[in-house]
Structure 1
Amino acid sequence: MDPLADLLDGVRARSAAFCRAILEPPWSMRIADGAMLALATTLRGHAWIVPDEGEPVLMRTGDVVIIKGPDPYTIGDDPATAPDTIVHPGNRLTTMDNVDITDDLRLGPRTSGHNPDGSAIVASGTYQVSGDVSERLLNALPDIVLVPRASTQAPIMELLAQEVSSDGPGQQVVLDRLLDLALIATLRAWFARPEAQAPGWYRAQSDPLIGPALRLIHDDPAHPWTVASLAGKVGASRAAFARRFATLVGEPPMTYLTGWRMALAADLLRASESTIDSVARHVGYANAFALSVAFKRVRGVSPSRHRAGV
């Protein structure tokens, strides 16, 4: 795998929540579903994404946005329009004084609104993600990512919109996979834009020397890699490889390797019942003691305390 593929694996859609809202101005909704990541697109009309802190972002027809959570935000026809609806986890809808109106606004499968002919249609899907591996991807993104229609993969978004409005067999699986494809396409389009300031590990993937080295690290993090062995695998001298890696990625090869191993170990410690010794061997350390020394040096806590959530 390459770095992006590994990081995306941690945010893969699994029974993701979807919603298609059909709206007529003036409209505004408070999004308080606690999702760590949301992907939304306007199928008709426009929408303003209004964070509690920062500048509003205009999403025109066909644009796609990625929004980092879990903090709430507002989406409406105008930044000045006050919200009258709150979106809770599971697409439960209430008034601002907490009266449930989910059934009142249901227009069809995964679709809500007052008027089926509304001038604005917003489709969205949310991920509930956690873990240190996923955090590495989230840390590379601004709070709101906007990819204009001209840069989006329109066929994927159109398929997602069509599926959201239907109710066929196996729909959840289809929606999950389409949302994954839409997220990958949107991230690629975003990182390709100059204003994205893509992280070093992403830019370096296209380098003929460092790209293969990154894939080696991600394919087999438990291998006893050294700067010399990585350089030899990609056909470069040790010194030249080390300089180029640090320049493109932003940190030395062994620092990157250690950080990746620690992220994997942190997630394994929280998400599995494997012994610390087993986790250590999985990420390239001889035993629990060796992992504990490295983990405490990098993370400031022992593996056992991290597992306990201390």
Structure 2
Amino acid sequence: MDTLSGLLESPKARGAFLLKSVFSPPWGLRIEDRAPLSLVTMLHGSAWVLREGADPVRIAAGDVAVVRGPEPYTLVDDPSTPPGITVDPEQRCNTIDGEDVTEAMFLGVRTWGEPHRTGSTVLLSGTYQAPNEVGRRLLAGLPALLVQPAAAARTPLIGMLAAEVDKEDIGQEVVLDRLLDLLLINVLRSWLMEPGTGAPLWFRAQSDPVVGRALRLLHERPSQSWTVASLAASVGVSRAVLARRFTKLVGEPPMSYLTGWRLTLASELLRDQDLSVASIAQRVGYSGPFALSAAFKRERGVSPREFRRGKRSEEILTAGSDRRTVVLGT
């Protein structure tokens, strides 16, 4: 698996929170759900995304905004409109006076907002509710706000997601989860491939003839007992050359990168309840469950079993400190 596939293989929503919201101006939502990642796309009308310490960003019909949490953000019809409703971590909606309007504004299957659905603004939001549904390496590399304009999207996924969100067919939750994943992956591919958008160092390093080969080997054979010396021999350079070049281009030494990749794979495998921690350790290159547990606890702040049960670590939830806004195609 190459580094791009490894990154894009991470998003796996499980019972993601999807909602179609209908409003007429003036309207405003303060999102305080602490979700690690959310997607917002406009079906009709436009909205502004407001974040503390950043300029307002407008999203129009067909645009897709990827918002990295857990910091709160605001969606409004106009930057001057104060938010009238706050969304809490349980996805409950309260007015500024504390009134719970979650049920009062319910309009049917996964649809919420003003009565009679006469609003001129219709937005579709999808929320990944746990960090392990997205992947630590992906969260750490993302800007705080990533916007893909409609002109750059060229995908039927928004229409497909909008058509499915109102349905209650057999397996509907799985269909919606996979469509949300595909929409996110579509935006991520544009971000990674477009020059000047600030893609992670390790992604850009793929094009280097030495480091790129080393990265592919680590991704393809994570269970191998790699050392810097053995990796250097495999790509045909000295240990010192590889260590220096890898660290410069990727931003961390080869063995540090390997540890992160092994734990990323372990996080994915921990979703399978039928796999023991011992078998997962063997698959990702650790001598046994204790070695994996020690590394996992040290890097992630929780043990593999705690992670499997869904216990959150602040270190995972707040991965990354990039507060940039990236608008693709500009």
**Which TM class, normalised by the smaller chain length?**
0.7 to 0.9
* Structure 1 residue 271, shift from structure 2 partner: 9.9
Aligned-partner Cα distance in 2 for 1:300–1:78: 39
Partner in structure 1 of residue 54 of structure 2: 54
Cα RMSD (Å): 3.7
Structure 1 residues 277 and 166, CA, compared in 2 at 3 Å: closer, same or farther?
A: closer
Letter of the structure 2 residue corresponding to residue 51 of structure 1: R
Letter of the structure 1 residue corresponding to residue 124 of structure 2: A
Equivalent residue runs for 1:3-42 within 5 Å: 3-42=3-42
Partner in structure 1 of residue 321 of structure 2: none
Structure 1 residues 113 and 301, CA, compared in 2 at 3 Å: closer, same or farther?
A: closer
Letter of the structure 2 residue corresponding to residue 88 of structure 1: D
Scaled by the length of structure 1, what TM-score is found? 0.81
Aligned-partner Cα distance in 1 for 2:211–2:295: 25
Contact persistence 2:39–2:66 (CA under 8 A): yes
Deviates most, 272-281 or 213-222 = 272-281
Identity of matched residues, %? 47
Partner in structure 2 of residue 66 of structure 1: 66
Deviates most, 19-28 or 7-16 = 7-16
Task: Specify every segment of 5 or more residues in structure 1 that has no aligned partner in the other structure, as ranges.
Answer: none
Aligned-partner Cα distance in 2 for 1:275–1:168: 34
Partner in structure 2 of residue 258 of structure 1: 259
Partner in structure 1 of residue 99 of structure 2: 99
Residue-by-residue CA offset, 1:47-76 (whole Å, 9 max, x unaligned) = 111113322221122111111112222101
Equivalent residue runs for 1:94-173 within 5 Å: 94-114=94-114, 115-131=116-132, 134-173=135-174
Residue-by-residue CA offset, 1:118-151 (whole Å, 9 max, x unaligned) = 2211101000223598222111112111122222
Aligned-partner Cα distance in 2 for 1:72–1:237: 47
Aligned-partner Cα distance in 2 for 1:30–1:250: 36
Letter of the structure 1 residue corresponding to residue 246 of structure 2: F
Deviates most, 100-109 or 236-245 = 236-245
Question: Relative contact order (C-alpha < 8 Å, sep 6+): which is higher?
Answer: 2
Structure 1 residues 89 and 210, CA, compared in 2 at 3 Å: closer, same or farther?
A: same
Structure 1 residues 252 and 97, CA, compared in 2 at 3 Å: closer, same or farther?
A: same
Residue-by-residue CA offset, 1:200-219 (whole Å, 9 max, x unaligned) = 22223355654443233123
Task: Specify every segment of 5 or more residues in structure 2 that has no aligned partner in the other structure, as ranges.
Answer: 315-330
Corresponding residue SS for 1:41? strand
Letter of the structure 2 residue corresponding to residue 108 of structure 1: G
Structure 1 residues 185 and 292, CA, compared in 2 at 3 Å: closer, same or farther?
A: closer
